[in-house]
Amino acid sequence: MDTEEIAAIARKHALLNAVKFDGEADLKAVMGKVMAEVKGNAKDVVPVVQRVIKEVNGLTLTQQEQEIAVLD
């Protein structure tokens, strides 16, 4: 699985987690979901997930909710 695919999966889970917890995604929670889907090497996945979480946490709660609506 390439980096873009991992980032897309991470973004989906980060957005869902962030909206659930007032706009702040949690790295451990998102990593668990991503690793379950990706089944890859954690060393390759962690930097991608960290970057995505930083991006998602930089959005407002409204922006996060709008992105989730587009994903559905």
Q: How many folded domains does the chain comprise? A: 1
Domain range for residue 34? 3-71
pLDDT score for 1: 85
15 touches 68 (CB < 8 A): yes
Tens digit of pLDDT per residue, the chain (72 long)? 899 999 999 999 999 999 999 999 999 999 999 999 998 788 999 999 999 999 999 999 999 999 999 987
pTM for the whole structure: 0.93
